[in-house]
Structure 1
Amino acid sequence: MRTTPGSPDQGAPGHVLDERSWYAANDVLAFLLELAALACLGWWGAAVGDVTALRLLLGAGTPLVALVLWSLFAAPRARLRPRLPLVLAVKALVLGGGAAALYGVGHPVAAVVMAVAVVANTAVAEVFRRRPTASPTG
């Protein structure tokens, strides 16, 4: 396919816009996965145990602990700025815990789908993070 002088190609600003769109879409997916992990952790906590008080405690406490860990170490505006390995460990604990919780409530296929989505999303985010930003001149 031939390109005309005004058509976007690999070096044109239109390509950068497309890349930013993918980056934004990946960020939205990351946020949705975070919310899903918290919901799954709460679901698991509410389903565990025979005592109602324990179910309430785990149903509210498990996602609350995950939320505190996330906000301290893994959120974009985290209070603490640890090195990347610790950030990834917290993400693995919270997001992986969400997938494990989904498995724990009896949905193994959904748990695998969530785990694959988490790994793919995190890998894409790391690729975007490591890429040098494109200059507006190409």
Structure 2
Amino acid sequence: MLSLAKNLNLLVMFLLELGVLGATGFWGFTVGQNWPLRLLLGLGTPALFIAVWAVFGAANDARIPLTGLARVALEVLWFGGGAVALVMAGRLVPGLVFAAVYVVNAALRLLWHQ
């Protein structure tokens, strides 16, 4: 039963990762009234987040994998960025829920050494 919970927690982390990309893209498409800027931010912000995650955060596939406090800082900035993007796009409750799910997920990963 515990292994199922651990696997579900890893699934939640993956879904949170996708949620960050969706949230940052959503924010980008809601900024201002200038369509070219919205297009640039809506596509560029998730691309920037993808690049950072690929270089530093993608577990075994990262070019420069971070550990310890550096990994904690990366995750807080990455997932916090997703939550902040939702709040800045006018979606306060989804942003708070996103942050809360991340905190529970991170605590369980720490507890279970994932």
TM-score by length of 2: 0.92
Say whether the 8 Å CA contact 1:70–1:91 is kept in structure 2: no
What's the % identity of the aligned pairs?
36
Q: Distance in 1 between matches of 2:65 and 2:87?
A: 31
Residues 58-111 of structure 1, C-alpha deviation per residue, up to 9 Å, x if partnerless? Answer: 101111111111111111222212232111211111211111111111111111
- Report what 2:4 is aligned to: 21
Secondary structure in 1 aligned to 2:32?
Answer: coil
The 4+ residue runs of structure 1 with deviation greater than 6 A are none
Say whether the 8 Å CA contact 2:6–2:112 is kept in structure 1: yes
Q: How many angstroms does 1:28 deviate by?
A: 0.2
- Report what 1:55 is aligned to: 38
In the alignment, structure 1 segments of 5+ residues that lack a partner are 1-17, 131-138
- Report what 1:124 is aligned to: 108
More helix by share: 2
- Report what 1:69 is aligned to: 52
Q: Distance in 1 between matches of 2:63 and 2:107?
A: 23
- Report what 2:19 is aligned to: 36
Q: Distance in 2 between matches of 1:82 and 1:105?
A: 30
Q: How many angstroms does 1:49 deviate by?
A: 2.1
Say whether the 8 Å CA contact 1:102–1:111 is kept in structure 2: yes
- Report what 1:99 is aligned to: 83
